[in-house]
Chains A and B, each alone.
Chain A
Amino acid sequence: MSVEPEVPIVQVEEVRENPVLYKIISSDNHVFTISEHAVKLSKTLWDLITNLGLTAENALDNPIPVENVNGKNMETIVQFCERHKYDEEEPEYTNYIREFVLPEWDRQLLSIDNEELFQLILATNYLDIQKLMDYCCRVIGDMAKDKTPEELRIIYGIPTDAEDDALERSASDSPGPSG
C-alpha cells in the first residue's frame, strides 16, 4: 500500500502485552490502528489479515482498506473491539428471549440516532462482529419493549400499508435504468 492519506491517525490505546498493531483505512480515508486481539473480533478483518499474510513486522506498513465503512462507524467499531478484546466467549444460546444486560459503557457508545445505528449495523454485518451485532440487537429490541403498534411504527419508522403501496406505485412509475 503506497498511498498514505493525509488525515489524522486515530490512535488507540497501546497494548503492552501484545504489541502487534494493524492499520485500517475507512472509506473516507481515515486511518485507524487496532490491536491484534481487538481485530480478531471481526471475522472479516481477521480473515483478510490472515489471507494477506500480514505479520507483526509488516502490519503497519500495509494498511487495510475497508471501503464499505466510513470513519465515524470505524471509530465506534475500533473502540468497541478494543474494549471487548479480552472478553470471554459467550455461551451458545437456544431459547428466545436472549437475556443479558447491556453494559453501561456500551449503552453509551450505542446511544446514537436511528440513522447512525442503521449504518453501524451495516458496517457490523459487513465486518462480521458477532458481539457488536448482539449489542445492536439488544438496543433495538429494547426500543420495542411494551410498545403499542402505533408507537412501534414511530420508533422504527415503519410505513403504513398505504404508504408502502404508494411508494411501490411511484417506484414502478419511475423510468428504469435505460429510461
Chain B
Amino acid sequence: MSQTSRNKNLLLSTPYLFQRQLFDFLSLKTRLNLRKCSKRCQALVDNMPLTIDSLEIFASRSVLIKSKSEIETNDKIVNSYSDVTEAANETRRFFVGGDFLTSEDYCELLSCLKPEKLQSINFLGIITKDASHKIALLEQIKRVPTIIFFNTLDRVPFEILSNTPKFYIPVENFSKFEFNRVVEQYLQRDNFVIGRIVVRKERMEPWITAFLMKNAAVKTDDGSMTVTLEGPKFKNTVNVGERSILFRRTI
C-alpha cells in the first residue's frame, strides 16, 4: 500500500462524512495512537465522538485502562491520563481511581467527558479533601445522575453529592448531624431518587434507634426497619439495616 500525499491523505483529507464514519471503525487504542501522530491528528480524534459504555482508568503502581472491548495494562499509549477521556469523550459509565491521581488529574479527566452523556461516575479509590472540593465544582459532577464510591470514606462527601439523584457511599462514620442533613435537604430535593449510605448500625447508636422509635419504624421481612417521612414537598422512606441506610423517594 503506497503512501499518499498531504492533499490526498486517507485520514486527513477525506470528506468529513467519511472521516466521521471511519472513526466508527477505529478502536480506542487506535484513536489514542493516532492522537500521538501529530497535532492535526489529535484535533481530528478529539472532534470525533466516541461513545463507550464503560471506561475505567486506575492509576496506581501500574496503569489500567479498560474499555468494553479493550484492556490496556500500561500507560505507554497515553501522554497524560486525560488523553483517554479526550478521545473517549462520550463515555457513559466512568470508573476512576488510584494513588497516582492528583486532584488536578481527577479534574482534568472528568472535565473532558460530555456531561450530557455521562450516566454514572464511579470512584475506585480514596479521594482527598482537596480533590473532593475541586471535583465538586465540575459540571460533570453536578449533572451526572449516579455517583458511586467503591472505597470506604471517612465521611459523606456532601459537596460532591450536591445535585446527584442516585448515590452509593460506604463510610466509616455517619453522624446524627449528617443524617439530618440528608433527611432535611437531600430528601426534599426535586431530583432525588435513591441513596445508600453503607455504614454499620452500631456506629450510629444511640441516635438512630431513637430516630426509628420516634418515627414509628416498621420491621421488614429482612429484619431492617423502615420509616416513612412526609416532607414539605416529597414523601420518602428511610430503611435502616445492620450495614446500611437506604433513602428512597416514594412520591
Contacts and interface: CB of A to CB of B under 8 A. Distances in A.
A151 B235 CA distance: 61
A115 B34 contact: no
B173 interface: no
A127 interface: no
Contact of B24 (A96, A121, A152): A96
A121 B50 contact: no
A158 B38 contact: yes
* Residue of B11, B12, B51, B53 most packed against chain A (CB within 10 A): B11
Contacts of B8: 114-115, 118-119
Contacts of B25: 97-98, 137-138, 140-142
Interface string A120-153: 0110110000000110111011111111110011
Given A121-B14, A122-B14, A156-B10, A96 B50 contact: yes
Interface stretch (A5-13, A41-49, A160-168): A160-168
A109 interface: no
Contacts of B1: 113-114, 143, 155
A69 to B, nearest CB: 14
A106 B223 CA distance: 65
B185 interface: no
Contacts of A141: 22, 25-26, 30
B116 to A, nearest CB: 16
Contacts of A51: none
Contact of B34 (A152, A154, A167): A152
A97 B27 CA distance: 6
B223 to A, nearest CB: 43
Contacts of A113: 1-2
A136 B9 CA distance: 14
B161 interface: no
A44 B26 CA distance: 27
Nearest to B52: A96
B53 to A, nearest CB: 7
Q: How large is the interface on A (under 10, 10 to 19, 20 to 34, 35 or more residues)?
A: 35 or more
A51 B4 CA distance: 37
Contact of B38 (A96, A154, A164): A164
A94 B10 CA distance: 24
A36 B19 CA distance: 29
Nearest to A141: B25
B38 A147 contact: no
Interface in B145-169: none
B2 to A, nearest CB: 4
B73 interface: no
B41 interface: yes
B11 A156 contact: yes
A114 B38 contact: no
A119 B14 CA distance: 9
A176 interface: no
A161 B10 contact: no
A136 B15 CA distance: 13
A178 interface: no
Nearest to A125: B15
Given A147-B33, A161-B38, 5 more contacts: A118-B14, A133-B21, A148-B33, A149-B33, A161-B39
Interface of B: 1-6, 8-15, 17-18, 21-27, 29-30, 33-34, 36-41, 50-53, 69
21 contacts: A93-B24, A96-B23, A96-B50, A113-B1, A113-B2, A115-B2, A118-B13, A122-B14, A122-B15, A124-B18, A125-B15, A125-B17, A134-B21, A137-B22, A137-B25, A149-B37, A152-B37, A155-B1, A157-B9, A160-B38, A161-B38
